[in-house]
């Protein structure tokens, strides 16, 4: 399994974009297409459904050497043994946390899990990024770069924030939000070297093929 620093393409199994497909099947298609990370995001599911599907996905991702990220539910991530949990600003800071080590201590380790849970945090401005970085996450997300149907009320942070991150953030960071093949080059030219892609891949007829197209473009820009 690659280190976070080596990961380039971050995919999603999002309950809003299943289009009748089984989550585990979709995860396999993403893995076969070359994603390095898959996040399970299911805002409309019960906790038990998230836990059950997380277990299904983990069997797929482990078989392909891909990190599994659980969105929002850090306790589920720990329970099933997922490698990563991703949290929004409100899920972390508004929940009373200020240091990632405190959250790791709170959730502990799953049975048989021999590594600390990695934590990613969403950020939407330089101020939020600076606050997040002080907390000590393993990575941060920068976005939404462009307007996106995934989060229609979120204000785009534009390429200016991507350029800021390229010059200021030393830990792994991923650009996210409205990224598609027509604007991917602009995101990479602005300094991103890792990207999250949601609807543009999940709405494709050939999910694996679409992943490969994104990966080819992203990997054309070497990591520093």
* Beta strands, E only, the chain: 9-14, 37-41, 67-71, 84-87, 118-123, 139-142, 173-175, 195-196
Could you give the CA distance from residue 73 to residue 70 in angstroms, rounded to a whole number? 6
Q: Which CATH superfamily is domain 4-217 in?
A: Aldolase class I (3.20.20.70)
Give pTM, 2 decimals: 0.95
The residues pairing with 121 across neighbouring beta strands, listed in sequence order, are 87, 140
> What is the phi/psi pair of residue 194, to 5°?
-140, 135
> What is the phi/psi pair of residue 25, to 5°?
-65, -45
Here the tokens at position 101 are 């080590």
* The predicted structure's pLDDT at residue 113: 56
CB–CB of 54/24 below 8 Å? no
Here the tokens at position 109 are 């380790």
Where in the chain are the domains?
4-217
Peptide bond into 144 cis (omega under 30): yes
Q: What is the pLDDT of residues 172-215, one digit of tens each?
A: 999 999 999 999 999 999 999 999 999 999 999 999 999 999 99
Q: What is the pLDDT of residues 105-116, one digit of tens each?
A: 888 754 445 578
Query: What is the pLDDT of the chain when averaged over all its residues?
Result: 94
Could you give the CA distance from residue 199 to residue 50 in angstroms, rounded to a whole number? 20
Q: What is the pLDDT of residues 114-160, one digit of tens each?
A: 578 999 999 999 999 999 999 999 999 999 999 887 777 778 999 99
Query: Cα-Cα-Cα-Cα dihedral of 102, 12, 55, 137, to 10°?
Result: -10
């Amino acid at each position: 399994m690659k280190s976070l620093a080596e990961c380039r393409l971050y995919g999603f199994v999002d309950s809003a974009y299943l289009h009748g497909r089984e989550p585990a099947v979709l995860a396999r298609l993403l893995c076969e297409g070359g994603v390095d990370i898959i996040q399970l995001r299911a805002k409309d599911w019960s906790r038990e459904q998230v836990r059950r599907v997380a277990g299904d996905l983990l069997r797929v991702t482990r078989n392909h050497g891909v990190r599994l990220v659980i969105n929002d539910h850090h306790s589920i991530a720990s329970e099933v043994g997922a490698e990563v949990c991703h949290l929004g600003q409100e899920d972390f800071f508004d929940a009373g946390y200020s240091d990632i080590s405190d959250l790791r201590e709170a959730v502990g380790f799953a049975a048989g899990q021999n590594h600390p849970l990695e934590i990613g945090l969403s950020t939407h401005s330089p101020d939020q990024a600076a606050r997040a970085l002080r907390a000590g996450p393993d990575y941060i997300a920068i976005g939404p770069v462009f307007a996106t149907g995934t989060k229609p009320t979120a204000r785009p942070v534009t390429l200016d924030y991507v350029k800021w991150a390229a010059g200021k953030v030393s830990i792994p960071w991923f650009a996210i939000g409205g990224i598609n093949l027509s604007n991917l080059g602009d995101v990479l030219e602005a300094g991103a070297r890792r990207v999250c892609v949601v609807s543009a891949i999940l709405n494709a007829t050939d999910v694996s093929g679409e992943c490969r197209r994104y990966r080819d473009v992203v990997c054309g820009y070497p990591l520093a």
